[in-house]
Amino acid sequence: MTFIKLHDASTIHTITRGSGEKKVLFIHGNLANSMWWESTLARLPADFEGVALDLPGSGTSPETGVRHTMDYFTSLIDEFTDLLGWQQFYLVGHSMGGGIAQLLAIHRPQKVLKLVLLNAMAADGFHTIFENGLWRMEKAMQDKAFLTKAIRATAPMCRDDALLAELIDSTASASPQVFLEQPVTMHEANWMARLPEIHCPTLFLHGELDDFVPKAGSERTAKAIPNCTFKYLKNCGHSPMLEVFDDYFREVFTFLQAETLKG
């Protein structure tokens, strides 16, 4: 188990696979962790090195005592990649992690070579959890059966019950900040006006069966990014890496490995 210590002495758990020259970072979403990327990391092309991290309070990364704002997570990822020694890299973000990835591409454009957004939260905020009532998240913290139902709803086409059970177990130990603070900060977020500042090639994939992240917000976000390709994934809900792995993996790495034409 590998941990990286940040300047404030907080520690971030990471999983690293591969040793290729191309670097790719995977950022998970709310109620998730690095385990969601394990199948992806296991099949990385030979020319890639991949890293997935646990954000504070998720997986095996402890809390840091800092409010879970999108700006905080963006600064954390910025420092984290500096400590990895990565000057430039590819960036893949899912759900809330896709929001963090958008912000990093805005604030540190020199770092992000290409950006992949998977069922990412819209740039003008993600409101579903907040509007449905935080009592549901409070109940999910205390009621394993309720949490199980909630996680399964985010991956409706996943047929690997053993994997889902493992992911649910790992989510059950997430901190109260993950359950109760992240939905609020996603609801408050809005960087839509800054999306034109993302100039790297971007791929936005959205599961056509996702009734968790609204399609309209994804389309609106993708349209505002200058060099963005938007695609729907068939037979897929909110979690492509769990539901349609082969299609997801092919789309992502075809995009990452494609040569970028210089204008």
CATH number of the domain to which 220 belongs = 3.40.50.1820
Q: Which two tokens stand for residue 244?
A: 């349609």
Residue 153, in any domain of the structure: yes
In a domain, 263, yes or no: no
Q: What is the pLDDT of residue 9?
A: 85
At residue 1, the pLDDT reads 72
- pLDDT exceeds 70 at position 91: yes
pLDDT at 263: 37
The pLDDT mean for the chain works out to 96
pLDDT at residue 3 in the model: 96
Q: How far apart are CA 232 and CA 230, in angstroms?
A: 7
Residue 162 in any domain: the answer is yes
Q: What is the pLDDT of residue 50?
A: 99
pLDDT in tens, 148-202: 999 999 999 999 999 999 999 999 999 999 999 999 999 999 999 999 999 999 9
Assess contact for 106 and 74: CB atoms under 8 A.
Answer: no
DSSP of the chain: -EEEE-TTS-EEEEEEEE--SEEEEEE--TT--GGGGHHHHHT--TTEEEEEEPPTTSTTPPP-SS---HHHHHHHHHHHHHHHT-SSEEEEEETHHHHHHHHHHHH-TTTEEEEEEESPPPTT---HHHHH-THHHHHHHH-HHHHHHHHHHHSTT---HHHHHHHHHHHHT--HIIIIIHHHHHHH---GGGGGG--S-EEEEEETT--SS-HHHHHHHHHHSTTEEEEEETT--S-HHHHSHHHHHHHHHHHHHSPPPP-
Indicate the pairing of strand 89-94 with strand 202-207: unpaired
The answer to whether 214 and 54 are in contact (CB under 8 A) is no
Cβ–Cβ under 8 Å, residues 101 and 115: yes
Asked if residue 198 belongs to a domain, the reply is yes
Name the band, by pLDDT with cuts 50, 70 and 90, for residue 260. low
pLDDT of residue 76: 97
Read off the amino acid at residue 96: M
Report pLDDT for 65: 87
pTM of the model as a whole: 0.96
For residue 81, pLDDT over 50 is answered with yes
Residue 234 has pLDDT above 80, yes or no: yes
Judge whether residue 70 has pLDDT over 60.
yes
Lowest mean pLDDT: which of 30-44, 68-82, 110-124, 127-141? 127-141
pLDDT digits (tens, 9 = 90+) for 107-138: 999 999 999 999 999 999 998 888 888 899 99
Q: Indicate whether 57 belongs to any domain.
A: yes
Is residue 74 a contact partner of residue 103, using CB atoms and an 8 Å limit? Answer: yes
Q: For tokens 């970028």, name the residue.
A: 260
45 has pLDDT over 60: yes
In angstroms, the CA 231 to CA 219 distance is 9
pLDDT at 262 exceeding the cut of 50: no
Domain that holds residue 72: 2-257
Predicted pLDDT at 136: 92
How many domains, in total, are found in the chain? 1
Residue 262 is assigned to a structural domain of this protein: no
